[in-house]
């Protein structure tokens, strides 16, 4: 059941990215990055059993944000991709601050949400710190590096996968240890580390055709802001 839902979520994420890009161009991608970062950092607080191992949610949503920055890097340049990451980080910081401030409000006797909100958002500063420390900036740098080395369109798959798969490894190790060291036992932490990278690696591999679609749309001038 979890595996099927994982596939459904993966398809939904890829479809949403393409729809937002087709309808709103670069702006649509700018919207998706902070949305993905905030959703992923909430979902990651939930652990599940997936493909025989313990894993956290949030892997798909966060990993697909690398597709967004790769589209921005490919079609608009490194500066625009970095701007999207900056917007995402600002959104995550503000969400963390505002939701933790909300926890200090004394709940009314009729309240039913305080305990659940506290469970999720009291650990959010640590998770947010892990996300900020991991950063997607290496992916942006790596994509630009490979784009300068192999600029022809036939190497698009290489730019996408070479940059993302290394960046995902760096991201996974830094994030997992900052966010979850001491929260889970050593064996569970190791499983989360392994599954997080493998699932992100799989998402990076599967997002390549969607990068080709975005590149073709840009070339043909069918993106909203390109045709305006």
pLDDT in tens, 156-177: 898 988 888 888 888 889 999 9
pLDDT at 80: 95
- Longest CA pairwise span in the chain (Å): 64
Which of 10-19, 23-32, 179-188 is least confident? 179-188
pLDDT at 107: 96
User: What is the spatial distance between Cα 24 and Cα 72, in angstroms, rounded to a whole number?
Assistant: 13
Question: Mean of the pLDDT values across residues 132-140?
Answer: 81
Question: CB of 41 within 8 A of CB of 128?
Answer: yes
Please state, for a pLDDT cut of 70, what percent of the chain lies above it.
98
pLDDT at 225: 67
Indicate whether 5 pLDDT > 50. Answer: yes
Question: Mean of the pLDDT values across residues 113-129?
Answer: 94
Indicate whether 224 pLDDT > 80. Answer: no
Q: What is the mean pLDDT of the chain?
A: 90
pLDDT at 123: 92
Instruction: Output the pTM of the full model.
Output: 0.90
Indicate whether 125 pLDDT > 90. Answer: yes
Tell me the backbone φ, ψ of residue 47, rounded to 5 degrees: -100, 145
Q: In this structure, is the dihedral angle defined by the CA atoms of residues 117, 6, 1 and 178, taken in order, positive or negative?
A: negative
pLDDT at 222: 83
Question: Mean of the pLDDT values across residues 50-77?
Answer: 90
Indicate whether 68 pLDDT > 70. Answer: yes
Indicate whether 10 pLDDT > 70. Answer: yes
Question: CB of 67 within 8 A of CB of 210?
Answer: yes
Indicate whether 59 pLDDT > 80. Answer: yes
Indicate whether 196 pLDDT > 90. Answer: no
Question: CB of 37 within 8 A of CB of 124?
Answer: no
pLDDT at 226: 47
Question: Mean of the pLDDT values across residues 120-138?
Answer: 87
Question: CB of 114 within 8 A of CB of 100?
Answer: no
Give the H/E segment covering residue 22: helix 2-43
Neighbours of 101 (CB within 10 A): 10
- Of 83, 82, 28, 25, the residue nearest 217 (C-alpha): 25
């Amino acid at each position: 059941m979890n595996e099927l839902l994982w596939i459904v979520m993966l398809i939904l994420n890829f479809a949403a990215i393409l729809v937002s890009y087709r309808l709103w161009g670069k702006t649509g991608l700018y919207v998706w990055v902070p949305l993905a970062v905030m959703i992923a950092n909430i979902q990651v607080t939930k652990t599940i059993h997936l493909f025989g191992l313990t894993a956290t949610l949030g892997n798909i949503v966060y990993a697909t944000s690398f597709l967004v920055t790769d589209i921005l890097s490919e079609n608009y340049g490194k500066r625009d991709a970095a701007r999207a990451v900056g917007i995402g980080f600002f959104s995550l910081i503000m969400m963390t601050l505002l939701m933790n401030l909300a926890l200090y409000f004394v709940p009314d006797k009729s309240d039913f949400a305080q305990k659940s909100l506290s469970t999720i958002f009291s650990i959010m500063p640590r998770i947010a710190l892990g996300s900020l420390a991991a950063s997607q900036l290496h992916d942006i740098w790596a994509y630009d590096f490979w784009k300068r080395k192999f600029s022809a369109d036939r190497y698009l798959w290489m730019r996408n996968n070479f940059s993302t798969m290394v960046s995902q490894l760096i991201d996974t190790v830094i994030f997992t240890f900052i966010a979850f060291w001491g929260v889970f036992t050593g064996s569970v932490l190791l499983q989360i580390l392994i599954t997080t990278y493998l699932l992100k690696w799989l998402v990076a591999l599967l997002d390549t055709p969607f990068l080709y679609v975005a590149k073709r749309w840009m070339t043909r001038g069918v993106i909203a802001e390109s045709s305006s």
